[in-house]
Amino acid sequence: MGGILVSMEGIEKTFPGVHALKNCRFELRAGEVHALVGENGAGKSTLMKILTGVYHKDAGRILYKGQEVEIPNPRAAQDLGIAIIHQELNLMPHLTVAQNIFIGREPRKAGFILNDKQLNQQAQELLDKMNLDLDPRARVGDLTVAKQQMVEIVRALSFKSEVLIMDEPTSMLTETEIQELFRIIRELRKQGVGIVHISHRMEELKQISDRVTVLRDGQYIATVNTGDVTIDEIISMMVGKEIYETARSSQVDLDSEIILEVRNLNRGREIIDVNFELRRGEILGFAGLVGAGRTEVARAIFGADPVDSGEIYVHGQKVQIRSPHDAVRHGIGYLSEDRRRYGLLPTLDVSVNITAAALDSFTGIMGWLQRAQIQKVAQAQVDDLSIRTPSLEQRVRYLSGGNQQKVVMAKWLVRNCDILIFDEPTRGIDVGAKSEIYRLLNDLAESGKGIIMISSEMPEILRMSHRIIVMCEGQITGELAAAEATQERILQYATKRKSIARQ
Ligand SMILES: Nc1ncnc2c1ncn2[C@@H]1O[C@H](COP(=O)(O)OP(=O)(O)OP(=O)(O)O)[C@@H](O)[C@H]1O
Ligand SMILES: [Mg+2]
């Protein structure tokens, strides 16, 4: 590790109703990967947004290479050589990959802005250097979330920064992509870049970080060498108490009613002849690599994308689902992987978001009655899921990432659907809240709902599912009962290409 690049001292930040940072501090050295951890809402993103000029601190000092600096806006941070990849994606969906990478600073040659062809070429060079399989000409809005995340990473790296902050870069990536990212991170570390890595995946810290700083409730708890502590020790510093893991879900009755049946589902090359059934009380895991087609299947069942062919039966009845509205009417809920695009109304408040999907059941004649009911239902969810918010009136965009995810979850729970599809339900959720969510999924299954859980976290799939379906390149390549499932067997199926040419 090299000299001290950044040091933040006595940082204070208050939002209306929230004391987000209290006398907080942080230090980053050149050539280190520094993990920043803490529960949802602990203040990690806020601290890094202050360092990158997104938020103004109320008090405190920032030293950059020993000099006190003011960072009034993101541009100032960029000029200093500090880059950030934000937790929420910040891309322009209607622009191409190359345009997004160079947005606001299109490369020039001899004073002229490069044309599209040259722009694409430069982007291609960057992508090649990082070994990423992306087309510079692709429209970002058409890419999967994981690919979009990679575009963000490439953009941040293209600044040749000395400090690189990554706010949960891996939450949308699968194991292979994470290893690829880590390869890039190690390369940058060797070149002396200081890297801040925010993640809720504890195993990652051990793999990639040199030091760890723990925040709790906006306060600095400690900075330790990663090699000197165990994951359990870090977790107890984060939560201030021991957490107990919940056991694997209970047995499911194999004769229980089939509540969802999908027959011969097809959509272009993304979904190829998908067949499966879901039983009452069952948690059906969907495993696979990113791009395997799991989200596409979920979206097709939910009516978010049209299909070429296929039949869907709910409680044995054939149903036509042409829109999410139809799906909800048939009791199907979908908690999407991209909460910004499909899950939330960020400018509206917590209570509206929680009750949005269920509004038709709140049509009281007297407005005040309806409102009181909404508040009551919303408050119950906030309590059940421990959603950290100053009030029900807080706009959802001001909640921390993990708490936003919990709001999406609450939204579907109040709708009381029989069939729930959870797409990466614990992405961005801290370890404590994760076990709460696992408990919740188990309770839902036990109460007779059918649950499809798409997850890229192998331990989660193995621990939660009664049965596991594995997909690869749009097809189901394997099915495993909980008892016979192992990480190796899932991976085998997940990489097994069925080379059957379609007729
Ligand atoms: N712009 C804002 N307006 C109001 N409150 C905010 C704003 N930004 C953050 N907060 C609040 O500040 C606290 C810290 O949030 P922050 O996003 O820093 O948490 P975090 O540690 O990044 O959590 P997560 O792991 O969920 O991403 C939270 O209570 C959050 O609701
Ligand atoms: Mg955050």
Tell me how far apart the alpha carbons of residues 293 and 300 are, in angstroms, rounded to a whole number: 10
For 4-239, CATH gives 3.40.50.300
Residue 71 pLDDT level (bands cut at 50, 70, 90): very high
Residues in the ligand 1 pocket, defined by CB under 6 Å: 15, 18, 20, 38, 40-46, 87, 388, 398-403, 430
pLDDT tens string 441-478? 998 899 899 999 999 888 889 989 999 999 998 999 99
Predicted pLDDT of residue 112: 62
Long-range contact pairs involving 383-387 (C-beta distance under 8 Å, separation at least 24): 384/410, 384/440, 385/409, 385/410, 385/433, 385/436, 385/437, 385/440, 386/433, 386/436, 387/350
Ligand 1 atom closest to 400 (CA): 17
Tell me how far apart the alpha carbons of residues 120 and 117 are, in angstroms, rounded to a whole number: 5
39 secondary structure, DSSP code = S
User: What's the CA angle centered on 211, arms 209 and 215, to 5 degrees?
Assistant: 110
Residue 153 pLDDT level (bands cut at 50, 70, 90): confident
Looking at the CA of 216, name the nearest ligand.
Answer: 1
Around ion ligand 2, residues with a beta carbon closer than 5 Å are: 45, 87, 401
* DSSP bridge pairs for 167: 198
**Domain segments of the chain: what residues?**
4-239, 257-331+418-503, 343-416
C-alpha separations of 265 from 28, 185, 476 in Å: 51, 40, 11
pTM of the model: 0.70
- Alpha-carbon torsion (142, 146, 151, 156), positive or negative: positive
Q: Are 26 and 12 in contact (CB under 8 A)?
A: no
pLDDT of 369 higher than 80: no
For every residue of 202-270, DSSP letters joined together read HHHHHHH-SEEEEEETTEEEEEEEGGGS-HHHHHHHHHSS---PPPPPPP--TTS-EEEEEEEEEETTT
To the nearest 10 degrees (0 to 180), the angle between helices 175-190 and 145-157 is 0
HSE-CB for 152 with a 13 A CA cutoff? 28
Predicted pLDDT of residue 341: 58
The domain made up of 257-331+418-503 has a fold known as Rossmann fold (3.40.50)
For every residue of 464-486, DSSP letters joined together read H-SEEEEEETTEEEEEEEGGG--
**What 3-state DSSP class applies to 193?**
coil
Q: Which of 136-140, 154-158, 197-201, 458-462 has the highest mean pLDDT?
A: 136-140
Long-range contact pairs involving 439-445 (C-beta distance under 8 Å, separation at least 24): 439/246, 440/384, 440/385, 440/409, 440/413, 441/249, 441/283, 442/246, 442/249, 442/250, 442/283, 444/413, 444/420, 445/249, 445/252, 445/281, 445/282, 445/283
Predicted pLDDT of residue 217: 87
- Alpha-carbon torsion (26, 32, 38, 41), positive or negative: positive
C-alpha 4 – ligand 2 centre gap (Å)? 24
**What 3-state DSSP class applies to 102?**
coil
C-alpha 372 – ligand 2 centre gap (Å)? 31
Predicted pLDDT of residue 241: 56
Predicted pLDDT of residue 113: 62
Tell me, yes or no, if the two domains 4-239 and 257-331+418-503 fold the same way: yes
C-alpha 389 – ligand 1 centre gap (Å)? 9
Judged by average pLDDT, the poorest of 113-117, 306-310, 353-357 is 113-117
Q: Which two tokens stand for residue 213?
A: 């700083």
Q: Are 417 and 331 in contact (CB under 8 A)?
A: yes
Tell me how far apart the alpha carbons of residues 148 and 219 are, in angstroms, rounded to a whole number: 32
Q: In what order do the strands lie in the sheet with 475-481?
A: 332-335, 419-423, 450-454, 283-288, 467-472, 475-481
Predicted pLDDT of residue 50: 97
Q: How many CB atoms lie under 10 A from the CB of residue 240?
A: 11
Residue 201 pLDDT level (bands cut at 50, 70, 90): confident
pLDDT tens string 220-260? 999 999 999 998 888 888 877 554 454 455 566 667 899 99
Predicted pLDDT of residue 55: 96
Looking at the CA of 42, name the nearest ligand.
Answer: 1
Tell me how far apart the alpha carbons of residues 155 and 149 are, in angstroms, rounded to a whole number: 10
pLDDT tens string 103-141? 877 666 655 666 788 889 989 998 887 777 889 999 998
343 secondary structure, DSSP code = I
Predicted pLDDT of residue 109: 61
Looking at the CA of 54, name the nearest ligand.
Answer: 1
Looking at the CA of 401, name the nearest ligand.
Answer: 1
Q: Are 278 and 263 in contact (CB under 8 A)?
A: no
Which of 12, 45, 50, 201 for a ligand 1 pocket mutation test, highest count of atoms within 8 Å of Cβ? 45
Tell me how far apart the alpha carbons of residues 428 and 221 are, in angstroms, rounded to a whole number: 21
Q: In what order do the strands lie in the sheet with 18-29?
A: 18-29, 4-15, 59-64, 67-68
Q: Are 113 and 103 in contact (CB under 8 A)?
A: no
Q: How many CB atoms lie under 10 A from the CB of residue 322?
A: 10
3-state SS of 357-404 is: HHHHHHCCCCHHHHHHHHHHHHHHHHHHCCCCCCCCCCEHHHCCHHHH
Q: Which of 300, 299, 316 is nearest to 308 (CA)?
A: 300
499 vs 408: which has the higher pLDDT: 408
191 vs 194: which has the higher pLDDT: 194
Q: Which of 40, 38, 36, 19 is nearest to 27 (CA)?
A: 36
pLDDT > 90: percent of the chain: 47
Tell me how far apart the alpha carbons of residues 501 and 248 are, in angstroms, rounded to a whole number: 39
Residue 437 pLDDT level (bands cut at 50, 70, 90): confident
C-alpha 407 – ligand 2 centre gap (Å)? 15
29 secondary structure, DSSP code = E
C-alpha 250 – ligand 1 centre gap (Å)? 35
